[in-house]
Chain A
Amino acid sequence: MAPPVNRRTGYSRRAQFGTFIGYVAGVAGAVVGGWFLVSAVSNQTSYSWLRSAAGDVTAPVGAAASGLRGGMATAAETVAGYATWGTENARLKREVAFARIHAAEDAGIRAENLRLKALLGLATQNPKPVANAWLIASTATSLRRFATISAGRAEGVQSGMPVRTAQGLIGRVLEVGTVSARVLLLTDTESVVPVRRAVDGTPAFATGRGDGTLQIRLLTLGLNPLHRGDAFLASGSGGIYWPGTPIAVVTALTHDGAVAQVLADPADSEAVTVQPAWDPVEDATLPPPTPTVPPPPAAKPRSKIKKAGKPGLITTLIGKVTGTGTPPAAPAPAPAHHP
């Protein structure tokens, strides 16, 4: 049992003032905190430099922890693997047999795709990565979902750039420090990504739910056309996220959309790639505008969907496909393929 603290200061003026000033400072701390809080809520970007500086200072610790985290995950998987290796082995053999057949089919499809793209003058949509980095920390206690990556302004990372792993998108850069950056994860409720269904291009928005899943909201109301297992990709409308980046797979249906599981779980992807923000206006993958009639600046196409709706462009495209097969007039040089 802890003895009570002697709260009496006696006749010492110094002790009395010390205690008094301590309480004044305590109340002042609460007031200052409240003031910081009000200014931070009213302007979300305030104090970001402080957070960035703190992220830079602790980046080495996070990088060390990131290696440890990967090691722990691998060790756990190794131990767990001993229990299931028999059935796992048999299943994998079956899967490999099927996968080999599919791989042959895919090779054919890929070749055809390349040929058709060359015919249309479309370049591959793989941007040159800005930086490769490690995920070094995440806000594991707050309702907000942020992560810190080990690349910052020194590597050319800028606010707004999408961040992805090999499996798919995990978020976009929010605040940039010198050697670290803060990423708004897809699962944060403030994150909204325009997506389309992989099979038919049904447009939707994917919003975070804060618990590791996404809410898919359809743009069109009416009968819910979604099914469990539907995959969604970034549509690229509005810029930022590169079209075709894998986002999520539907796990449960709701009355106006679906709940989807994120494909690139940040919990088991340590290495991430920072991509340049996609700008559909300056995109080299789109066909060039008609040279004779310069479009008015207000009607400048912002997205592929809008652009495809323009009759002039469609006829241009058809003309190219059905023409003699000459390469189109002025597509930008195709960027090198970066897997």
Chain B
Amino acid sequence: MIGARRRPPIGVVRQITRAPSPMVAYLVPWLSVAVGSLLPDLPVIAPAPVMPPLGFLMLLGWRQLRPGLLPVWAGLPLGLVDDLFSGQPFGSAILLWSVTMLALDVIEARFPWRNFVIEWAVAAVMIAAYVALTGGIALVAGSHAPIMLLVPQAIAAIVLYPVVARVIAWLDRKRLRPFRVFG
């Protein structure tokens, strides 16, 4: 973290000998979404789709808490990572996450002033649609499982969303942590 620190992130005043690392500040959102994609697969070898789509929740959270930090096209690389681990047919998350980013942009332009309840409601609609569409894609790709199996997962994801938003707020503070600068 000693190399590239010529330009501190926007809105951060550089103090003498200490400044946030631009690399950390910009990488944390991307990495946290990618880790979110990987994380639900690890804690239990699940007999049914029970874990909430944490990667998608992280993407929603970053987009709503810090609009503009993740670009509109972030769905392509982040969805690609999610597709590698999710078990869905390849391209499922790339498509749905890209559309999500565009949709959130439209919603933001339409309702510029929002409180967290509105954010949560928007996220709930997004999560429900996303989970239903992943189920639909899995059915098209050859699964015959009843789509009702996904209802507990969707409810868990909606309930979990404020917690994820809190974690993202914490990460957002930590990503601007000042590091020591030489010279």
By a beta-carbon cutoff of 8 Å, the part of chain A in contact with chain B is: 1-2, 4-5, 7, 22-23, 25-30, 32-41, 44, 46-47, 50-51, 54, 58, 61-62, 65, 69, 135-148, 185, 187-190, 208-212, 262, 265-267
Interface contact A266-B72, CB-CB below 8 Å = no
Cβ A36 vs Cβ B91 within 8 A: yes
Number of interface residues of B (CB under 8 A): 68
Q: CB < 8 Å: which of A25, A44, A46, A135 contacts B73?
A: A25
Measured CB to CB, the closest approach of chain B to A47, in angstroms, equals 4
Partner of A41, one of B65, B141, B144: B141
**B142 touching A190 by the CB < 8 A rule?**
yes
Question: A266 vs B146: C-alpha distance in the bound complex, in angstroms?
Answer: 21
A138 & B41 in contact (Cβ 8 Å cutoff)? yes
Set of chain A residues within 8 Å of B147, measured between Cβ atoms? 143
Q: Is the CB of A30 within 8 A of B75?
A: yes
Interface flag for B21 (CB, 8 Å):
no
Residues in chain A near residue B44, CB distance under 8 A: 69, 138, 140, 267
Instruction: Find out whether the CB atom of A143 lies under 8 angstroms from the CB atom of B102.
Output: no
A22-B72, A141-B51 as given contacts; A210 in contact with B91, CB under 8 Å: no
CB-nearest residue of chain A to B95: A33
Residues of chain B lying within 8 A (CB to CB) of residue A140: 40-41, 43-44, 46, 49-51
Q: Is the CB of B98 within 8 A of A33?
A: yes
Cβ contact within 8 Å between B142 and A5? no
Q: Which of A2, A46, A187 contacts B114 (CB 8 A)?
A: A2
Q: Is the interface of A mostly helix, strand, loop or mixed?
A: mixed
Are A267 and B91 CB-contacts (below 8 A) given A33-B76, A143-B143, A143-B149?
no
B113 at the binding interface (Cβ < 8 Å) = yes
Given A2-B114, A211-B145; A266-B95 close (CB under 8 Å): no
Contact of B86 (CB < 8 Å), options: A34, A46, A47, A141: A141
For the complex, is B90 an interface residue (Cβ under 8 Å from A)? yes
* Nearest-Cβ distance from residue B138 to partner chain A, whole angstroms: 4
| Contact for B47 among A54, A136, A212, CB less than 8 A | A212
Question: Residue of A at shortest CB range from B48?
Answer: A211
Closest approach, in angstroms, between the C-beta of B5 and any C-beta of chain A?
Answer: 23
List, in ascending order, chain B residues with CB within 8 A of A209's CB: 145
Q: How far is the CA of A5 from the CA of B69 in the complex (A)?
A: 11
Q: Does B47 lie within 8 Å of A51, measured CB to CB?
A: no
Of all chain B residues, the one with the shortest Cβ separation from A170 is B45
Q: Roughly how many angstroms separate A12 CA and B72 CA in the complex, as a whole number?
A: 20
Q: Are A5 and B95 in contact (CB under 8 A)?
A: no
Also in contact, A4 and B112, with CB within 8 A (given A141-B49, A144-B88, A262-B47): yes
Could you tell me if B143 and A139 are in contact, using CB atoms closer than 8 angstroms? no
Nearest 5 Cβ contacts at the A-B interface: A210-B145, A139-B87, A36-B91, A212-B47, A33-B94
Q: Which residues of A contact B150 (CB under 8 A)?
A: 143
Contact A211 B141 (CB under 8 A): no
